[in-house]
């Protein structure tokens, strides 16, 4: 089963970049948690370095990631420069990145540019959370918090941003994105209890069971578990 570590930048005593009362720490926490919910909907395990407005040091973030083995570590941020002087998205990898880090960064970057953000490119940086984590790691700056145009995109296309980042991650994991039903969308943020209807060593048997369940109007899909 795929497993990810999500890192929401700043928090608690460290609001990150701020502009007109808006805090980076709040933006990335709320958006990142929704991306996590969407990714989990596809059977992926997501651990988070923080789940509330809490202060988490850089060392604690990397130590948290080091405790487990992840397919990817993804850190969510928003950029800042001078008010209204810069805009766009950029995604970072560590210096001389591995293929997995680079490909995920390129997928996330492209998915956000399509939504209207200025393309500032995929870049390399010696950031702590990229350097001190074990798994392929990326850090994404989702627009400039001190740019009104980027904030409008962040707010008005929020659901599209969540979907775009989710699809980029799933693509790199080799998982097909499944559109959420109306019932699923209403349940986001709630605790859901999934019921398994059997495990099969032969895929055809699993597909036959899926067919039977769908004929009985039961929502069903195949989830692959490696022993």
Residue 217 pLDDT > 90, yes or no? no
- List Cβ neighbours of 104 (8 Å cut-off, separation of 6 or more): 72, 74, 136, 138, 168, 169, 172
Per-residue pLDDT tens digits for 173-195: 999 999 987 555 554 455 555 56
Per-residue pLDDT tens digits for 111-156: 999 999 999 999 999 999 999 999 999 999 999 999 999 999 999 9
CA dist 112 and 165 (Å) reads: 7
Name the domain count of the chain.
Answer: 2
Q: How far is CA 105 from CA 67, 89, 91, 207, 225, in A?
A: 23, 11, 6, 34, 26
Within a domain: residue 189?
no
Say yes or no: 75 and 140 in one domain: yes
| Mean pLDDT within 97-103 | 97
> Do β-strands 3-8 and 72-79 pair in parallel, antiparallel, or remain unpaired?
parallel
**Domain span including residue 226:** 194-227
Residue 159 pLDDT > 90, yes or no? yes
The CATH code of the domain that includes 114 is 3.40.630.40
Say yes or no: 19 and 103 in one domain: yes
Predicted TM-score of the model (pTM):
0.81
Within a domain: residue 56?
yes
Within a domain: residue 183?
no
| Mean pLDDT within 3-16 | 98
Neighbouring C-beta atoms of residue 89, cutoff 10 Å: 27
Within a domain: residue 157?
yes
Least confident range of 2-11, 171-180, 189-198 = 189-198
At 40, which helix (H) or strand (E)? Answer: helix 24-40
- Whether the Cβ atoms of residue 40 and residue 194 lie closer than 8 Å to each other: no
CA dist 105 and 93 (Å) reads: 7
CA angle 120, 124, 125 (to 5 degrees): 110
Q: Which residue has the higher pLDDT, 61 or 207?
A: 61
- Whether the Cβ atoms of residue 45 and residue 109 lie closer than 8 Å to each other: no
Within a domain: residue 90?
yes
Say yes or no: 143 and 213 in one domain: no
Average pLDDT over the chain, rounded to an integer: 91
Cα–Cα nearest to 153, from 86, 82, 89, 75: 89
Say yes or no: 132 and 51 in one domain: yes
| Mean pLDDT within 201-216 | 71
Say yes or no: 32 and 110 in one domain: yes
Full DSSP string of 185-222: HHHTTS----------SSHHHHHHHHHHHHHTT-----
Cα–Cα nearest to 149, from 125, 182, 116: 116
Within a domain: residue 60?
yes
């Amino acid at each position: 089963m795929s497993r990810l570590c999500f890192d929401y930048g700043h928090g608690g005593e460290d609001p990150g970049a701020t502009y007109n009362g808006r805090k980076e720490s709040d933006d990335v926490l709320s958006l990142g948690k929704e991306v996590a919910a969407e990714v989990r909907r596809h059977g992926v395990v997501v651990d988070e370095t923080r789940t509330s407005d809490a202060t988490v040091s850089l060392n604690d973030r990397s130590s948290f990631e080091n405790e487990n083995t992840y397919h990817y570590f993804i850190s969510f941020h928003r950029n800042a420069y001078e008010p209204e002087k810069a805009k766009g998205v950029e995604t970072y990898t560590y210096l001389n990145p591995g293929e997995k880090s680079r490909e995920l960064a390129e997928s996330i970057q492209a998915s956000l540019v399509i939504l209207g953000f200025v393309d500032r490119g995929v870049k390399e940086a010696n950031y702590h959370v990229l350097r001190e984590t074990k798994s392929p790691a990326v850090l994404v700056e989702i627009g400039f918090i001190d740019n009104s145009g980027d904030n409008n995109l962040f707010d008005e296309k929020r659901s599209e941003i969540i979907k775009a980042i989710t699809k980029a991650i799933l693509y790199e994991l080799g998982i097909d994105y499944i559109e959420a039903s109306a019932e699923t969308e209403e349940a986001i943020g709630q605790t859901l209890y999934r019921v398994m209807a059997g495990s099969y060593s032969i895929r055809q048997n699993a597909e036959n069971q899926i067919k039977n369940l769908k004929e009985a109007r039961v929502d069903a899909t195949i989830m692959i578990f490696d022993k």
